[in-house]
């Protein structure tokens, strides 16, 4: 049993990138699929596929590389089960001066920090990627 499934997902992605893996398998959930969708839209991963296995399901994430290096140079969990971080729309941080993204869980769904600021909604800052 995992206490922080999102942290497990980003650790698997980080480790897979360092080991130059083509794909990484993660136990699936709606939140993880939403995070993977944002990573794909923003160009940090090639894609993802939800595979049914009769139980929880598997999320197969295809990693992306450029010049033999992972496109994701850093991925960090912000809000943790022991310390949740909720911020208003104007307080959502810009990651690496706009070169990275923050992923925020809002009342209107999971979105990037840029979209949350544009829609003027705050929420729980899940992670930041650069």
pLDDT digits over 33-84, tens only? 999 999 999 999 999 999 999 999 999 999 999 999 999 999 999 999 999 9
* Tokens at 109, concatenated: 């769904």
Instruction: Please report, for the domain that includes residue 117, its CATH number.
Output: 3.30.1490.10
**In this structure, are 97 and 120 located in the same domain?**
yes
Q: What percent of the chain has pLDDT over 70?
A: 99
pLDDT digits over 97-115, tens only? 999 999 999 999 999 999 9
Place of tokens 């993660």: 26
Instruction: Please report, for the domain that includes residue 60, its CATH number.
Output: 3.30.1370.30
**In this structure, are 61 and 90 located in the same domain?**
no
Tell me which of 55, 70, 85 is where a domain ends: 70
Is the distance from CB of 6 to CB of 32 less than 8 angstroms? Answer: yes
Specify the pairing of strand 69-70 against strand 101-106: unpaired
Tell me how far CA of residue 125 lies from CA of 22, 56, 65, 76, in angstroms: 28, 25, 26, 11
Residue 103: is it exposed, middle or buried by C-beta count within 10 angstroms (0-12/13-18/19+)? Answer: buried
């Amino acid at each position: 049993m995992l206490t922080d499934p999102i942290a497990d997902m980003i650790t698997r992605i980080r480790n897979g990138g360092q080991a130059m893996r083509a794909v990484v398998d993660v136990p699936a959930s709606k939140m993880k699929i939403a995070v993977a969708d944002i990573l794909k839209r923003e160009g940090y991963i090639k894609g993802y596929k939800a595979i049914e296995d009769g139980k929880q399901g598997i999320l197969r994430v295809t990693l992306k590389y450029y010049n033999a290096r992972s496109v994701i140079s850093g991925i960090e969990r912000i809000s943790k089960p022991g310390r949740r971080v909720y911020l208003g729309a104007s307080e959502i941080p810009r990651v690496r001066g706009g070169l990275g993204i923050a992923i925020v869980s809002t009342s209107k769904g999971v979105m990037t920090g840029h979209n949350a600021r544009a829609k003027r909604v705050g929420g729980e800052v899940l992670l930041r990627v650069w």
